[in-house]
Each structure stands twice: as C-alpha cells, then as structure tokens.
Amino acid sequence: MISRYSLPEMESVFADETRFSRWVEIELLATEAHAVTGVVPATDAATCRSKAPVIDASFVDAVAEREKVTDHDVAAFVDVLQSRIGGAEAGWIHYGLTSTDVVDTALCWALRDAADLLIDASSKLLRVLVNMAKAHRDTVMIGRTHGVHAEPTTFGAKVALWALQVERDRERLVNARRTIAVCKLSGAVGTYSNIDPRVESAVASSLGLEPVPATQVISRDRHAEYMWACASVGATCEMIAMELRHLQRTEVREVEEGFKSGQKGSSAMPHKRNPISAETISGLSRVLRGNLQAALQDVALWHERDISHSSVERIVLPDSSMLAHYMLHRLRRLLEGLQVSSERMRANLMSSHGLVFSQPVLLALVQSGLSRDDAYRIVQEAATISWTGSRDFRGVLEENDRVRQLGPAILDDAFDLSRSLGRIGVVFDALDRIEV
C-alpha cells in the first residue's frame, strides 16, 4: 500500500521486520515445545532462544539474497535463521514443520493484531458519531428519498443511524477477529505425522491463538470473512461520505468539510472548497470491494494445498487492512471538523412551501371519511398547484371545501413540525444502548 493511504501503526503490523520476527518466534516456540515433549534437548532449545538474531533490515536483506538461490521464501528464511543461530543446535529449527505452519500462523497473528487496530479505530469513530448525533438531536432538516424532499427529520437522527451501522461493523470486526485468531502447526497435509499436536497447542497458547484442524493451509474462508469485515467498513464509510458530499453541494449547503488555513480547493478557482476527504473515502471503498472478490476466490484451493492464494494475499490482506484503518481515521477527522448549518437545513426544509406535510393531511382526510384514493387525489392536486406556482401548500389546500371541513385545529396539527418529529426518540433509544 502506498504511504498516502496508510498509517504507521498499521504499516508496522505488515512490515518485513515484523513478519520475520513473527516467524522467528513461532520457530522458537515450536522448538521449545518439542523440548517439553522430549524430542529436542532442553539445552538446545534454550540455546536457539538465546542466540536468536535481532530482526532488522540486514536480516531481511539476507533472506532476500538467499531466496535468489532457494527460490522459496520460507526455506531461505530457515537457512538464514539457522546460520545466525549457528552450531548443531540450530538444526532443530523448523523440525517437523512445513512452510505454511509458520506462514499461516504468523499471518493469522498479524491479522488478529490488525483487527485490534480496526476495532479501536471503529470505536473512536463511533464515539464521534454518538456525540454528534446527540448534539444535533433537534437540528431539523428535510429527509430526502430519491434525492427529492420527503418528510422532516433531524440531522441527529441521520447521524444516529450512521452510528448504529458503524456499531454493526465493529461487531463484524470482532467476529472476524475471533475467526482469524487461529494457528496451525500440523505439518504437511495437516496430519501431525511428524509433529506432536502438543507442540501446536503450546505455540497457540503462547501466542493467544486457537489451534484448528487444517490441511496444509488454514481454510481461507476465515480470511474471506476478515476481508468482508474490512469491505463492510469501507461500504459504511462510503455511505456516510456520499451523504456528506450531497449535503455539501452548492444548491444544498447544509454541511461543509473543514477548510484549514492555507488550504487550496482548486489550482484554478480560488473560491472552491471541495469535499475531498469524502471523495477520497468513496474512491478507496471501491478498492476494498474489489479486494474482497479476490479473497473469496482464494477459498477454493487444489487438494490439501496450492499457492494460488499466496500472491493474492500478499497484496489484498495488508492493503485492505491499511485502507480500512485509514478510512476510519480519515472519516473521523472529517466529522470532527464538519461544519453543520442548522439555518440552511431549516431553510431547505421550508423551501418547498409546506409540501413536506402532505402525508399528515392525507391521513386527516382519510380519518374524516374519504377513501384513500379520493384523499390522495385532493392532496396531490393541491401539491402540484403549490409547487408549480410557488404557492403556500396549506393555502392551496384550504381552497378545497373538503379540506376546509377538517377545521383549523386539524390542519394546524398536520402542519406542526414537532408532531412530525415527536417519536424520533426511538432512534436515540437504540443509540443509548451502544457501548462506546
């Protein structure tokens, strides 16, 4: 992943030094577990631990150089690790293991740590959304369907629904973490033919992973579930970003991304203040969805293993983790600096001459004894006259004898904004149940 769309804490999870450090630790833990079972002399296991090298750039370079000979990354790693430890004791490194025992266990370890960062970022975003929803609980605005004015709502209710979706994404991440936090050290084709199952259990316990039955590779449905959680995060971020982009359009102007001193919105037009963060988030979500498709195709492998998934995962798993993490942080910063115009929201609500109260009038006419179709036609005709003539909707309605028979009190209630929003607390009751 390019550094523009990644943050250091997530980058470090997938750095070469981190990956090889994980591989070394798995090898050492396995050797020590072999010692407990009596296969490896305890002194030899201790020597391997004490002489284990520091994993730095020189170690990474040495493995890369050795791979030019072996044409196999794990074999190159084992060769370099054994040479750095030195002595006969180093011969116990990788005893009874196959490459994917180390690679898959280390990868699941990395994805578990990545999931922790994603869960934390989701929680931080969630807190911002919950606070914003509560702050704007009574900030009235027009609700839109198909891009057209529908009925009144509040900005707080809109944001509350975002928060509830982010909470569901967080739960998906928690579940994906549980699914991916596994390990496998059962040897070639997964039959434990050359390694005691107790070794796998010991390594798993030390790493906080769960040992699971496997072929030579851990089943890739686990990785696909993790990728689905990342893609879902991206979809939610895009949903919020797209709404903010619409609300920032010149004709709407209900919200605006923060614009810092010295910032330029356009190289050509000095007046421009563009929703660049929201647009970036929308674009990156497309990458996450595409990566999910690749992960789903990795589930089907030949027999007990092939490596058709390997090249794909070297790209999509780190990149998706970094992108989802970046998007969560970028959206949180966007929302923290968001400028909300309650005045513009109210003005837009009232700009359609009261048409947004058409349903309460319809229902009042039905309650008065009219058929629904007859009532609908009366209100629809009045709405057309109001909209095409820029006339007050209630005034047009009152020109109809049947509407006048309702009386002023019933029409007052139908056009009462507080009545329209009187039960919006249901949304906030759900919000209050979120643990932030």
- pLDDT 10s digits, 39-57: 999 999 999 999 999 999 9
User: Exactly one of 3, 146, 271, 390 is catalytic; which is it?
Assistant: 146
Give the SS3 label for residue 42. helix
Residue 400, pLDDT score = 95
pLDDT grade for 267, boundaries at 50, 70 and 90: confident
Query: Does residue 3 have an active-site annotation?
Result: no
pLDDT, averaged across the chain? 96
CATH number of 1-95: 1.10.275.10
Question: pLDDT confidence of 263, banded at 50, 70, 90?
Answer: confident
The pLDDT, as a whole number, for residue 128 is 98
Structure-block tokens of residue 322: 């970094």
Contact 113, 181 (CB under 8 A): no
Q: Are 65 and 73 in contact (CB under 8 A)?
A: no
- Has residue 386 got a pLDDT over 90? yes
- DSSP strand pairing (182-183 vs 148-154): unpaired
Mean pLDDT of 212-241: 98
Active site residue 266: yes
Domain 99-183+216-254+272-351+423-436 has CATH 3.30.365.10: no
Give the pLDDT confidence score for residue 342 in this predicted structure.
97
Q: Following CA atoms 119, 431, 257, 171 in sequence, which dihedral angle do they give, to the nearest 10 degrees?
A: 20
Q: Where are the beta strands (DSSP E) in 198-310?
A: 210-211, 255-256
Whole-number pLDDT of residue 357: 97
- In whole angstroms, how far apart are CA 154 and each of 78, 80, 415, 418? 61, 63, 16, 11
pLDDT surpasses 90 at 264: no
* Euclidean distance between CA atoms 426 and 253, whole angstroms: 28
User: Helix (H, G, I), strand (E, B), or coil: what is residue 137?
Assistant: coil
Residue 131, pLDDT > 80, answer yes
Among 266, 308, 311, 418, which one carries the catalytic annotation? 266
Looking at residue 259, what is its pLDDT?
Answer: 85
Mean pLDDT of 362-379: 96
Whether the CA torsion 293, 74, 322, 228 is positive or negative: it is positive
- Contact of 386 with 351, CB cutoff 8 Å: no
User: Does position 416 have pLDDT exceeding 80, yes or no?
Assistant: yes
Q: What is d(CA 19, CA 57) in angstroms, rounded to the nearest whole number?
A: 12
Residue 428: C-alpha distances to residues 162, 173, 202 (Å): 12, 24, 47
User: What is the dihedral angle through the alpha carbons of 44, 50, 52, 56, rounded to the nearest 10 degrees?
Assistant: 180
Give the separation between CA 219 and CA 84, rounded to whole angstroms: 33
Q: Tell me the CA end-to-end span of the chain in Å, nearest whole number.
A: 30
What is the model's pLDDT at position 229?
A: 98
Helix (H) or strand (E) holding 142, with range, is strand 140-145
